[in-house]
Structure 1
Amino acid sequence: MDEGCYKGKVALFAFNGDPICFAHVLINALDLREKNYHVKLIIEGSATKLVAELADPEKPFAGLYERVKEACLIDCVCRACSAKMGSLKSAEDQGLPICDELMGHPSIARYLEMGYTVLTF
């Protein structure tokens, strides 16, 4: 879809590693996309551990995570945090983009400069 056809641009930064909190970010990402927003999900902080955990289809919220991946809503996973949480290899194996432009982390400023509204969770 043409960039001009969207209602707006939203970057969702997921920091919280609690699975229930992360599930809400996933639900909102899908909802925003369905409502015609351009959505980018950035996985940061302790939430990066869930990249490895939710790759297991038996885990709660794994299906929701898979839907978000299939919709190509994950813009990047933090290199520094995923390395610290032990999930960097899993993120790479899943083919997820890795960001590290801000001392090993994704830059919020980059998304603001591209015109995204940034929400943190």
Structure 2
Amino acid sequence: MNKTVFFAFTGNMMCFQHILLNALDLDSKGKEAAIVIEGEAVTLMQKLEESNNKHYFEAKKRALIDCICKACSAQLGVLEYNQELDIPLKGNMSGHPAMESYIEQGFQVITL
């Protein structure tokens, strides 16, 4: 399997850090990796943007963060902030990014 997408759901920074590390590792080994930020994880964006988190900024630079959930951003009050980031907001499944879209493209889906 050469394509992996990580769906980040929890608002736990430690869990998200491991998603970043794994996506960067796969990418550095020539595998395709993507990160979808869903659920409570959408609330981490401001903390990450204001941090010195080298893994976040490297993943952003490599365009590994595919999108942020539009519906969750709205529901959790961070839509305006997340709209200003250089990361697409997606919501093709009742306002949420659909896993099916990634499966159709041959991605293995991992949720955390």
Q: Which bin holds the TM-score, normalised by the shorter protein?
A: over 0.9
What TM-score does the superposition give when structure 1 sets the normalisation length? Answer: 0.86
Aligned pairs for 1:12-51 (under 5 A) are 12-51=6-45
Inter-partner Cα distance in structure 2 for 1:79 and 1:52 = 15
Aligned residues: 112
For 2:23, give the aligned amino acid: A
Structure 2 residues without counterparts, runs of 5 or longer: none
Structure 1 residues without counterparts, runs of 5 or longer: 1-6
Q: Over the residues paired in the alignment, what is the CA RMSD in angstroms?
A: 1.3
For 2:66, give the aligned amino acid: D
- More moved, 40-49 vs 62-71: 62-71
Question: What is the aligned-residue identity percentage?
Answer: 38
Inter-partner Cα distance in structure 2 for 1:54 and 1:86 = 16
Number of the residue aligned with 1:73 = 64
Number of the residue aligned with 1:3 = none
Deviations 1:23-72 (A, max 9, x none): 000111101101111111100000110112211125xxx32211111111
Q: CA deviation at 1:17?
A: 0.7
